[in-house]
Amino acid sequence: MTKTVTDVVCPFCGTLCDDLEVVVSDDGKKLFEVYNACAIGAEKFLHSQAADRLTRPRMRQDDGSWKEISYDEAIEYTARMLADAKKPLMYGWSSTNCEAQAVGSEIGEMVGAVMDNTATVCHGTSLIAVQDIGIPSCTLGEVKNRADRILFWGCNPAHAHPRHMSRYSIFPRGFFTGKGHTGRKMIVVDPRPTDTARIADVHLQIEQGRDYELLDAFRVAFKGEKLPDVVAGIPKEKIYEAADMLKSGRFAIIFFGMGVTQSLGKNHNIDAAIAVTRDLNEYTKAAIMPMRGHYNVTGSGQVWGWLFGFPYAVDLSRGFARYNPGETTSNDLLRRGEVDAVFVLGSDPGAHFPFSSVKEIYNLPSVAVEPHETPTTEVCKVHVPVAFVGVEVGGCAYRMDNVPIETRKVVEPPEGMLTDEEFLDRVLARVKEIKGV
Amino acid sequence: MAIRVNLITGRTIQQGVSMEAGKEKPAYTAACGIIELDPADFKKLGAFRNTTVRVTSQYGSVVVKAVEATQGPHPGVAYIPMGPWANRVINPNTYSTGMPTFKGTPVTVEVAKNEPVLDSLELVRKGCRGELA
């Protein structure tokens, strides 16, 4: 027989859908089906059941082959590597729960590590902009119940946050948005006519990399001032039309993604986007929100925020927290050869860092704590498979709007497998022994 | 015949699904070891759909399969889904922001019929060992 677990939280993207239903065996050891999830979320749950899943740590041999080792050996290697390093990089922290992030931070403090999370290649530049000029934001509940003007700038939720539009931003009927999508106006700014842009009322097909100019043009258009005939490849009439559409709403929300954070201009693009939001508040209520990618990257920013005062790129190597993006960020450290060991948990820099950084990881002592086999495990010296957070172990995660949600355990991990938190707890205990504290 | 295009990267739902199903599997290569080109750029390149091509920037080079844009038209702009293939060629400079420039890298695309598209693990392994062009 089977049983159905309801109200399961999806550990894939920052939308953190909390209405999944998962069918598991009576003894809770097998997972059979997933309902309500998007294609990516469902695959994440189902992949935990893969027959070829690795269940024991392994170490790279000199001839390039893998040798299975025990958890004790993996803990010893990790603790020694971190304790012996002068400046280790401890990167990732996004596909895990806040409890594990807290233990990891304690290790980082003890060994003088640089702690960085996936915001460094995602919304790190947004965080810099927020520190520059602040952010008028809101929760996704407010968006669902109030927002009638939705602007997606440089993001493609149809692919990256597949249920965002149906749960919060475009289609749901809320308290003041009883007509659902027919009562909302949707604008998309993207250099491609994406699947999100196809359902928009207005699509501005911007010239790639000219976001700052178009954002500034919006500020001009709000005030009714004169624009050049074409800005960033968009005729001025379309800019005025989109600006009027935003101003005429009761509640406007701007969602922005990698199109602005990763293009040239970086944090300055976000500065401009936040300034647009502030200006829009002269005419109506407006808010802005980053489309956070990993399901708990926001949580690692929160945890470090209350522990160290900074959301990412925290350098603890001098015994106190320093933060200087461009210097203490992972890719800059790796490319400049400024770290001497790499510890990765809950992320895949092997696949998502520029190749020059990946090569540097390959040349250093390195540990990857990761349920899957990935390009990161391919370049690391030790690979420690762990339980899937959000599937085989619960814990706290923060949604993209900074709302904490407790994820649920739905199925047992393979026998004898540690969770992130258990592994880190044991590494911490061993580091304390080595350091004699 | 080689063409110059502006390369951007990002998520596709196929990239997300195949990533969660295992990055060592062929589906991940099929989803991410590709470059999406506009029909106009295909014409300039003088190549059929599904031809293997070599994409080169001043930062590196990679062999991927050229497919027609799924979310086009976008003449002059090419798209490789985020992943190790894209990251061989994107601009790694952060310009003191911490963020590599994943979007907006000028690249050259040329037909490379007889070169294989490597899977993600092999690509990273061979790259680290210096076995790739």
What domain range includes position B65?
A: 2-128
In a domain, B107, yes or no: yes
In a domain, B63, yes or no: yes
The tokens for A250 are: 């009761």
Q: Where do the structural domains in chain A lie, given as residue ranges?
A: 2-47, 58-122+295-435, 124-290
Pairing of the two strands A20-25 and A2-8? antiparallel
Chain A residues whose beta carbon lies within 8 Å of the beta carbon of residue B128: 358-359, 362-363, 379
In a domain, B133, yes or no: no
Residue A416: Cβ within 10 Å count: 9
| CB neighbour list of residue A60: distance below 8 Å, 6 or more residues apart | A66, A67, A380, A381, A382
| ipTM beyond cut 0.95 | yes
**What are A251's strand-pairing partners?**
A285
Helix ranges (H only) for A112-182 are 124-133, 140-146, 157-160, 164
In this complex, the residue of A267, A357, A374 whose CB is nearest that of residue B97 is A267
Give the pLDDT of residue B1. 81
A195-215 mean pLDDT? 98
Chain B residues whose beta carbon lies within 8 Å of the beta carbon of residue A374: 23-24, 120
Q: Which CATH number is B101's domain given? A: 2.40.40.20
Q: What total of structural domains would you count in chain B?
A: 1
Q: What is the mean pLDDT of chain B?
A: 97
Predicted structure pTM score: 0.97
In a domain, B38, yes or no: yes
Q: How many Cα atoms sit within 13 Å of B116 on the Cβ side?
A: 7
CA dihedral A373, A379, A384, A386 (to 10 degrees): -40
Does A262 sit within 8 Å of B103, measured CB to CB? yes
Does A120 sit within 8 Å of B98, measured CB to CB? yes
Please state the φ and ψ torsions of residue A132, each to the nearest 5 degrees: -70, -55
CA-closest candidate to residue A339, choices A348, A330, A326, A347: A330
Q: How confident is the model at residue A298 (pLDDT cuts 50, 70, 90)?
A: very high
| Cβ-based burial of A394 (10 A; exposed 0-12, middle 13-18, buried ≥19) | middle
3-class DSSP assignment, residue A30: coil
A375-393 mean pLDDT? 97
Min distance A258 CA to chain B CA atoms (Å): 8
CA distance B31 to B47: 20
Strand ranges, E, within A147-306: 149-153, 185-189, 202-204, 230-231, 234-235, 251-256, 285-290
B25-39 mean pLDDT? 98
State yes or no: pLDDT of A13 exceeds 80.
Answer: yes
In a domain, B114, yes or no: yes
Q: Does domain A58-122+295-435 correspond to CATH entry 3.30.930.10?
A: no
Give the pLDDT of residue A220. 98
Give the pLDDT of residue B133. 75
Does B11 sit within 8 Å of A159, measured CB to CB? yes
A195-200 mean pLDDT? 98
Give the pLDDT of residue A410. 96
CA-closest candidate to residue A4, choices A32, A23, A29: A23
Chain B residues whose beta carbon lies within 8 Å of the beta carbon of residue A348: 23
B1-21 mean pLDDT? 96
Give the pLDDT of residue B52. 98
State yes or no: pLDDT of A161 exceeds 90.
Answer: yes
Which superfamily does A124-290 belong to? Dimethylsulfoxide Reductase, domain 2 (3.40.228.10)
Task: Tell me if the bond preceding B73 is cis, omega within 30° of 0.
Answer: yes
Give the pLDDT of residue A68. 97
Q: What is the mean pLDDT of chain A?
A: 97
Does A125 sit within 8 Å of B97, measured CB to CB? yes
Helix (H) or strand (E) holding A98: helix A98-111
> In this structure, what DSSP letter does residue A10 have?
P
Min distance B50 CA to chain A CA atoms (Å): 21
Give the pLDDT of residue A1. 87
Does B24 sit within 8 Å of A373, measured CB to CB? yes
B46-58 mean pLDDT? 97
CA distance A396 to A404: 7
Give the pLDDT of residue A15. 97
State yes or no: pLDDT of A78 exceeds 80.
Answer: yes
Does A352 sit within 8 Å of B20, measured CB to CB? no
* Interface test mutation site (partner A, options B17, B55, B71, B99, max chain A beta carbons within 10 A): B99
The verdict on B25 touching A (C-beta cutoff 8 Å) is no
Q: Which tens digits make up the pLDDT trace of A309-348? A: 999 999 999 999 999 999 999 999 999 999 999 999 999 9
Does A332 sit within 8 Å of B98, measured CB to CB? yes
Residue A196 near residue A160 (C-beta atoms within 8 A): no
Does A39 sit within 8 Å of B23, measured CB to CB? no
Min distance B53 CA to chain A CA atoms (Å): 19
